[in-house]
């Protein structure tokens, strides 16, 4: 493919000017892939003489190509309750989330929703996500089956919860672990798939279940862990009541061995520096979910404090409380949250987070997140003139910095012209 190519080899930092050597940009570049893997990336003039005589060249010189976007925290089983009238977290779970997730006991429904969800991800340029299924094993089988048919790199897991939820959703304490073990055997490292052990959050799991989840991680260090942490003030009070022996919310997870380099804790809004330091020391990451935090009124994430302590951060949509699956929309919301905290997010930092940054924090950077030889051929083709307003503003942009910031603020799903994953065309905009 011949196009303008943009990728990151390192964290660009938070200054207006990216760190030297962090950005790789080929204004007239060539991306060569074969059998799902990138073979070479360079200026077109340098790479063209090396290309085989019979190779077909896709000319996208008017487009921008970046690595596929990565969403570190999303619930596919909540797609149909997006934009349900705002409640705070705990009310929202009981009124909307739990009734919706009960539907995923039915395999046909779960399969239909998995395909619809993946269609939507491809439409917005997200090629990898870490996904919450429901507590039903059928929901996991359906999701992984749909992802495998498309040859996608996806992480997912069955929700574990053995209390404080409807009977149709709660596990037998150890039965949920046995279900997880079967799912791990069937799907973990099967093709491009990975399994995330998934206790919903501390209030819906007993200590016995959390300890057993930690046992899964100790038995296989290649597994991932995803859950929620410190999203809502009412939630914090509930955790303190349920776990009086733990000195803070994070300690609940630490005592069960759930905090490690492959652990993602969604939200982390109400943390102190001691908790941030403990997460950083163990290599865990916080998934910053700006549109969800705004929608539920949970609070404004302190990105600067986390960065100052070298805590790994990821960006996430958190559908269904989030209001848009699009990575571009997530960047826009993250910028707005940052402005309210006096912590503006640059386009360099934003697009790095959405690609290589998320890949590094999720321990996937050996496969995805960059346009580089040997990486999986997951990338997105962006139309910088997808709408009349976006085009007008792009015509006034004099630098790549301006172009990226314009895309971050005015871009939407229409800007995603094509999405490629595993070297296969997964989506092309219809008009």
Domain boundaries, the chain: 2-68+369-428, 69-361
- Burial of 237 by CB count in 10 Å (0-12 exposed, 13-18 middle, 19+ buried)? exposed
The pLDDT assigned to 94 comes to: 83
Give the mean model confidence (pLDDT) for residues 385-406.
97
The mean per-residue pLDDT over the stretch 1-23 comes to 97
Residue 350, pLDDT above cutoff 80: yes
Per cent of the chain over pLDDT 70 is 100
Token duo for residue 277 = 């330091």
Q: Does residue 87 or residue 146 have the better pLDDT?
A: 146
DSSP for 42-70 reads EEHHHHGGGS-TT----EEEEEEEEEPEE
pLDDT tier, 84 (very low <50, low <70, confident <90, very high otherwise): confident
Element (H, E) at 285: strand 285-288
**DSSP code, position 404:** H
Total number of residues shown for the chain: 431
Neighbours of 247 (CB within 10 A): 12
* CA-wise closest residue to 102 among 74, 72, 138: 138
Q: Characterise 289 by phi-psi region: left (phi > 0), alpha (psi -120 to 50), beta (else).
A: beta
Share of the chain above pLDDT 90, in %: 95
Q: What pLDDT sits at residue 291?
A: 97
Check pLDDT > 90 for residue 323.
yes
User: Mean of the per-residue pLDDT values for the chain?
Assistant: 97
Please state, in angstroms and rounded to a whole number, the distance separating the CA atoms of residues 187 and 202.
25
| Amino acid 199: pLDDT | 98
Rounded CA-CA distance 264/284 in Å is 6
Per-residue pLDDT of 122-140, as tens digits, reads 999 999 999 999 999 999 9
The residues, any chain, with a CB within 8 Å of residue 315's CB and separated by 6 or more, are 71, 72, 287, 288, 290, 327, 330, 331, 334, 350, 353, 354, 357, 358
Q: Please determine, for residue 63, whether its predicted confidence score (pLDDT) is greater than 90.
A: yes
Q: What is the mean pLDDT of residues 199-228?
A: 98
Predicted pLDDT at 364: 98
| pLDDT mean over 337-356 | 97
Judge contact between 63 and 428, C-beta under 8 A.
no
Residues in contact with 92: Cβ distance below 8 Å, sequence separation at least 6, in sequence order: 84, 86, 296, 321
Output the six-digit token pair for 305: 């404090």
* Three-state secondary structure string covering 133-147: CCCCHHHHHHHHHHH
Residue 357 pLDDT class (50, 70, 90 cuts): very high
pLDDT confidence bin for 39, thresholds 50/70/90? very high
Q: Give the confidence band of 282 by pLDDT, cuts at 50, 70, 90.
A: very high
For the entire predicted model, the pTM comes to 0.97
Q: Are 32 and 277 in contact (CB under 8 A)?
A: no
3-class secondary structure, 395: helix
Task: Give 178's contacts (C-beta < 8 A, 6+ positions apart).
Answer: none
Mean pLDDT of 373-402: 97
Looking at domain 2-68+369-428, its CATH superfamily turns out to be Urease, subunit C, domain 1 (2.30.40.10)
What's the mean pLDDT in 189-198? 98
**Topology (CATH level 3) of domain 69-361:** TIM Barrel (3.20.20)
Check pLDDT > 80 for residue 423: yes
CA distance 105 to 95: 18
pLDDT of residue 333 exceeding 80, the answer is yes
Q: Which residues of 143-162 are buried (b: 16+ CB within 10 A; e: fewer)?
A: bbbbbeebbbbbbbbbbbbb
């Amino acid at each position: 493919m011949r196009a303008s190519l943009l990728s990151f080899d390192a964290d660009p930092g938070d200054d207006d000017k990216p760190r030297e050597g962090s950005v790789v940009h080929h204004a007239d570049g060539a991306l060569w892939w074969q059998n799902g893997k990138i073979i070479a990336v360079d200026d077109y003039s340098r790479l063209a003489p090396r290309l085989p005589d019979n190779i077909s060249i896709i000319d996208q010189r008017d487009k921008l190509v970046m690595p596929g976007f990565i969403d570190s925290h999303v619930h596919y089983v909540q797609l149909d309750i997006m934009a349900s009238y705002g409640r705070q977290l705990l009310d929202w779970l009981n009124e909307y989330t739990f009734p919706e997730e009960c539907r995923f006991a039915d395999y046909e429904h779960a399969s239909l929703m998995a395909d619809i969800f993946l269609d939507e991800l491809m439409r917005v340029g997200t090629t990898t996500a870490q996904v919450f299924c429901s507590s039903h094993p059928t929901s996991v089988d359906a999701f992984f089956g749909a992802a495998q048919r498309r040859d996608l790199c996806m992480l997912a897991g069955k929700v574990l919860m053995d209390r404080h939820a409807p009977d149709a959703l709660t596990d037998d304490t150890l039965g949920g672990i046995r279900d997880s073990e079967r799912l791990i055997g069937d799907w973990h490292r099967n093709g491009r798939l990975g399994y995330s052990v998934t206790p919903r959050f501390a209030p819906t799991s007993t200590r016995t279940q959390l300890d057993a989840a930690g046992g899964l991680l100790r038995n296989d260090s290649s597994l991932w862990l995803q859950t929620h942490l410190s999203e809502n003030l009412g939630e914090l009070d509930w955790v303190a009541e349920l776990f009086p022996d733990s000195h803070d919310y994070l300690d609940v997870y630490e005592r069960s061995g759930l905090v490690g380099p492959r652990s993602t804790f969604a939200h982390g809004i109400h943390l102190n520096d001691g908790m941030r330091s403990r997460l950083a020391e163990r290599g865990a990451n916080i998934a910053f979910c700006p549109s969800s935090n705004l929608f539920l009124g949970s609070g404004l994430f302190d990105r600067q404090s986390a960065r100052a302590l070298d805590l790994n951060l990821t960006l996430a949509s958190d559908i269904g409380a989030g209001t848009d699956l699009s990575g571009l929309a997530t960047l826009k919301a993250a910028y707005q949250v940052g402005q309210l905290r006096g912590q503006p997010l640059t386009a360099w930092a934003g697009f790095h987070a959405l690609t290589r940054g998320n890949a590094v924090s999720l321990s996937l950077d050996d496969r995805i997140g960059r346009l580089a030889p040997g990486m999986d051929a997951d990338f997105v083709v962006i139309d910088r003139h997808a709408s009349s307003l976006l085009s007008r503003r792009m015509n006034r942009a004099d630098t790549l910095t301006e172009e990226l910031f314009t895309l971050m603020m005015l871009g939407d799903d229409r800007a995603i012209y094509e999405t490629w994953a595993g070297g296969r065309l997964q989506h092309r905009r219809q008009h």
